[in-house]
């Protein structure tokens, strides 16, 4: 199905494409009322929609923000998007573009070609210098979430991951656990590295043996599959790199006749919406997911509207939420 | 040495170049297994490698598909989007636009103004005649999922909701439950009405008293809040309109010292990715979520590419998945 173009409107109205363009962009001064009416009638009759990308160049107020995230099926990321939608100001319209599987660069090029006004990038950026050069060239502001490294090019919204990892270690160790394991993904995002550093550093300072590390897929199934490598190891305390992995691991522990938390304590990370509904309810390090979405939106809009040219680093707090999957050994 | 071309593959397979192009671009649905095999065999035999640039030159320009869904935080919907992304053909690039909170009409107007090529609508459409007139006028093809009524204007992808509801009733009644309740949202989407009709009709035919109906928010919290109205009622079997409500209800039942399934059996609907990880694991009516995304994508691309002008109704099957939240009373 071919879309109606500005040429079709011009033909229908019997005027030039330039005339149609001027009239539809409210630049009517040099045209007669008759010409203006012919163009508007032709537009109405054919159902012509002006091309927003072109309009944006001329300063239309609608803003289009592209959001790049690794996955939508992890509620952590879908909640960030939901939060951005709920907190958007009324005077700025936003469309969320979410692409999932392709390479980051291809995604971004795609979004830029579609006239995006700004980007929120919540994925690992492989070549930050190249990306920054490309976006700077195309005058597209962007902010990054802490799934990527801080390269100093633009705003970063992060949580205190090191402190979060430390809190997880402190909680397990306070509960008397010394035989610890970390379930982590094959590929660590930048923020996860800090999370694990914080955990391990706290163990080191308190003379707790290095935690065993189990590598797996970053998913519920990954958590489930990781348990086979754990159950022969006399581990009593597990730090799962996120709630999804924790949920998968708990299911596998139950299937293998381990009681959580009676036999094994486990703590997750994120506090996704499902965490409090699990049975037992999941102890976790809460990230302020809603706040991350809200702040990311606020920062990118400031840049898109030209209200800020400085580079800000915003750090949000994490919080230990003790529920039912951890228990004192003593 | 001359490179093998698509013409060589067509000649070898004895089919048209267009057929080879469609089949190699995973747009196989309208070809017989025999034709598909001939083409794949010819490709293999000649060592043909599709030329990406050539594909782009032939006019397979970027397509932008808008997807309208009620919520992203329900994994049912985020999985549909993920599935569409995973199944998109290589020669057609797609960006998913997902807007959440605003009115449907505003969302759609917004997407159309941003140059969307086609729409997948998974929300209740209040004024289907108006919407159809608007989209027809602007030459934007669309398909609807069964969250909306079938108005005959365009393709609808639905599951057999009546049968799904019936299967849920049959399962509970086969297990000896006669004191039943349905937890449902304040506002029923079209497909949920059919689901409930199927459930109630099966109860009626088998002389089971009308199920009690508890109205609540369509969310995990809604399911949790609904339980207060249930626990004084001697209900032994609950049909939750979806898995999220079931998960919230189970959490509240446990908090109120009811054992699931020993005291109360509960069955959900959807089979979201979390269902099998719950403890107890959730018995549910599975919708083919992945298939819904795949088929919706296929249908809208057919329309966007002008390959189909007829209106199709596609019905996918549901399936009872018995896990641990239901138990025989006998």
Domains assigned to chain A: 6-50 (no CATH), 65-158+289-316 (3.40.50.2300), 161-287 (3.40.50.2300)
Per-residue model confidence (pLDDT) at position B146 = 82
Which residues are paired to B180 by β-bridges?
A: B237
Please name the residues between 80 and 119 in chain B that touch chain A, using a CB distance below 8 Å.
Answer: 81-82, 85-86, 93, 95-101, 110-115, 117
CB B269 within 8 A of CB B241: yes
Please name the member of A72, A110, A280 whose beta carbon is closest to the beta carbon of B72.
Answer: A72
Cα separation, A82 vs B101, in Å, equals 9
CA B325 to chain centre: 24
Number of continuous H segments (helices) and E segments (strands) in chain B: 12, 12
Which range (A153-157, B29-33, B108-112) has the least confidence?
Answer: B29-33
Q: Which residues of A touch B85 (CB under 8 A)?
A: 99-101
Q: Which residues of A touch B138 (CB under 8 A)?
A: 3-4, 47, 49
| A contact residues 1-40, partner B, Cβ 8 Å cutoff | 1-4
Closest partner CB to B97 (pick from A95, A113, A274): A95
Strand pairing report for A237-240 and A283-286: unpaired
Q: Among the listed ranges B2-6, B40-44, B190-194, which one has the minimum average pLDDT value?
A: B2-6
Q: Is A238 helix (H, G, I), strand (E, B) or coil?
A: strand
DSSP state of B17: H
The pLDDT value recorded for residue A141 is 95
Q: Is the pLDDT of residue B57 over 50?
A: no
Contact B157/B296 with Cβ under 8 angstroms? yes
The pLDDT tens digits for B245-272 are 999 999 999 999 999 999 999 999 999 9
Residues B266 and B284: their CA atoms lie apart, in Å, by 9
pLDDT at A55: 42
Write the DSSP assignment of B218-264 as a string of letters: SSHHHHHHHGGGTTTTT--EEEESSHHHHHHHHHHHHHTT--TTTT-
Q: ipTM, 2 decimals?
A: 0.79
Using the predicted structure, report yes or no on whether residue B1 has a pLDDT greater than 80.
no
Q: Give yes or no for residue B60 having a pLDDT over 50.
A: no
Taken as a whole, chain B contains a residue count of: 330
* Number of Cβ atoms within 10 Å of the Cβ of A179: 16
Across the interface, whether the CB atoms of B82 and A72 are under 8 A apart is answered yes
For residue B277, the chain A residues in CB contact (below 8 A) are 220, 224, 247-248, 250-251
In this complex, which of A51, A96, A247 lies closest to B115 when CB atoms are compared? A51
The structure tokens 């708990």 sit at: A250
Contact (CB<8Å) A251/B81: no
Considering CB atoms only, which of B79, B110, B277 is closest to A248?
B277
Q: For residue B100, is pLDDT > 90?
A: no
Q: How far is CA B46 from CA A240, A284, B13, B22, B31, in A?
A: 49, 56, 11, 18, 21
Count Cα neighbours of A121 within 13 Å in the Cβ-side half-sphere. Answer: 30
Chain B contact for A251, CB < 8 A? Answer: yes
DSSP string, A6-28: HHHHHHHHTS-HHHHHHHHTT--
Q: Using one digit for the tens of pLDDT, what is the confidence trace for A190-232?
A: 899 999 999 999 999 999 999 999 999 999 999 999 999 988 7
What mean pLDDT comes out for the span B33-61? 65
| Partners of residue B183 on adjacent β-strands | B214, B240
Cβ–Cβ contact A225 with B under 8 A: no
For residue B36, pLDDT beyond 90: no
Please determine, for residue B99, whether its predicted confidence score (pLDDT) is greater than 60. Answer: no
> CA A107, CA A126: separation in Å to the nearest integer?
13
Going residue by residue through chain A, which has 330 residues, state the pLDDT in tens, using 9 for 90 and above: 456 778 888 888 888 777 887 788 766 767 778 888 888 888 888 877 765 444 443 344 567 888 888 777 788 988 888 888 778 876 566 666 665 555 778 778 877 776 788 999 988 888 899 999 999 988 899 999 987 778 889 999 999 999 999 999 999 999 999 999 999 999 888 899 999 999 999 999 999 999 999 999 999 999 999 999 988 788 999 999 999 999 999 999 999 999 999 999 999 999 999 999 999 999 999 999 999 999 999 999 999 988 877 899 999 999 999 999 999 997
- Strands B319-321 and B283-286, sheet pairing: antiparallel
Rounded Cα distance, A164 and A271, in Å: 12
Shortest Cα distance, chain B CAs vs residue A273, angstroms? 9
Q: Mean pLDDT for chain B?
A: 87
Residue B118's Cα: distance from chain center in Å?
18
* Distance from C-alpha of B149 to C-alpha of B94, rounded to nearest angstrom: 26
């Amino acid at each position: 199905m071919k879309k109606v173009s500005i040429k079709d409107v011009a033909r229908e109205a019997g005027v030039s494409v330039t005339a149609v363009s001027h009239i539809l962009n409210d630049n009517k001064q040099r045209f007669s009322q008759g010409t203006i009416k012919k163009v508007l009638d032709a537009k109405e009759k054919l159902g012509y929609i002006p091309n927003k990308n072109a309009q944006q160049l001329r300063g239309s107020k609608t803003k289009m923000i592209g959001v790049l995230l690794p996955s939508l099926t992890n509620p952590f990321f879908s909640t960030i998007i939901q939060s951005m939608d709920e907190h958007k100001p009324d005077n700025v319209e936003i469309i969320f573009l979410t692409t999932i599987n392709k390479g980051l660069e291809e995604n971004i090029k795609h979004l830029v070609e579609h006239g995006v006004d700004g980007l929120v990038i919540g994925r690992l950026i492989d070549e930050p210098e190249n990306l920054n050069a490309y976006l700077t060239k195309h005058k597209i502001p962007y902010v990054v979430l802490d799934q990527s490294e801080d390269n100093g090019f633009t705003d970063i919204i992060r949580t205190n991951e090191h402190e979060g990892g430390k809190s997880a270690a402190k909680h397990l160790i306070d509960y008397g656990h010394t035989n610890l394991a970390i379930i982590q993904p094959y590929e660590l995002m930048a923020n996860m590295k800090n999370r694990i550093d914080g955990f391990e550093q706290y163990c080191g300072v308190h003379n707790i043996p290095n935690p065993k590390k189990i590598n797996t897929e970053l998913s519920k199934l990954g958590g489930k599959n990781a348990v086979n490598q754990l159950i022969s190891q006399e581990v009593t305390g597990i730090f799962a790199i996120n709630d999804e992995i924790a949920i998968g691991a708990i299911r596998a522990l139950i299937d293998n006749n381990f009681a959580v938390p009676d036999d094994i304590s486990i703590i997750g990370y994120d506090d996704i919406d499902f965490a409090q509904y699990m049975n037992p309810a999941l102890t976790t390090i809460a990230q302020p997911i809603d706040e991350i979405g809200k702040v990311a939106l606020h920062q990118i809009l400031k840049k898109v509207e030209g209200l800020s040219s400085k580079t800000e680093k915003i750090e949000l707090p994490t919080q230990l939420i003790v529920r039912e999957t951890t228990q004192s050994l003593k």
